Every structure is written in C-alpha cells, then in structure tokens.
Amino acid sequence: MMKPLLALLLLLLHFTPNNAPQADIIDDLSAQFRTGNSKEIAKHFSSSVELIVIDQEDVYSKAQSEQILKDFFIKNQPNKATIIHRISSNPNYRYGILSLQTKTGKFRVTITLKLTKATNNFLISELRIEQDRE
C-alpha cells in the first residue's frame, strides 16, 4: 500500500509547473533589495533596462544597470523592503512596487518584468527608484 502512494507522490512532484520558481519573483526581488544585493538583482535584468534612479534616467545595458544599482546601495544602505503592490495575473507580465527603507531615507521601487520566450523567465525591463513622498 505504501509503495503506490510513494510512487504517486514522486510522480506529482516530478510534474510541477516549469514556472514555479518564477512564481514568487517579486518576493525574491524584495529580499534582494532588502539586502542590497545588486549582483543577484542583475541576474533578473534583461539585456537592456530602462533604469530610473532618483534623477538619473536612461536605457542601460545589463552591466551598466548593475553598476548604477550597486552605487545606489553603497550610498543608501537598505534596512527593510516591503511589497506594497503586485500584479501577477498576466502570464507574460509581472509588476511590483516596493517600499525600501534605507539608512538615508525611504524610497519607492517600481519593477516591471516581462516574460522572455527564449528562456521562459521573467526579466526586468524597467526599474524605477524614487524618493518616497510620504
């Protein structure tokens, strides 16, 4: 009796959806912002990113975007990141807004991700970091 149940359980675990690791990408990014880990965040960048950091705005390469984000974290060491809004109902699009508390102040982080057909992963196409106006 136990062997068929074990076999069924293993079969169910084997056929989990391929996008399961990406399902909580906003949660993952929130954790990376909390620790100021620009290297891990950059792993989710598309080849070019529309990046808006306070008063600096342009489309940058993945490497340039990582460096700008790293500089931001050096100047604004994070303490806490909280998800205040997310959209995950569209299968090709994810959107999240974080409240980022740093040692120098509070920021609003807006993240736009699009599904990349080649890798079947969500990649950041736009990242916006602005002073929180509260």
Strand duo 93-102 + 78-87: pairing: antiparallel
pTM for the complete prediction?
0.80
Rounded average pLDDT over 24-40 = 95
Reported confidence tier of residue 18, pLDDT bands at 50, 70, 90: very low
What CA–CA distance (Å, rounded) separates 47 from 123? 9
State which H helix or E strand residue 120 sits in: none
pLDDT tens profile 86-113: 999 999 999 999 999 999 999 999 999 9
What CA–CA distance (Å, rounded) separates 80 from 125? 23
State which H helix or E strand residue 86 sits in: strand 78-87
Token pair 């949660």 in the structure block, residue? 27
Residue 24's pLDDT is what? Answer: 81
What domains appear along the chain, each with residue ranges and CATH number? Answer: 20-131 (3.10.450.50)
Contact at 8 Å (CB) between 110 and 131? no
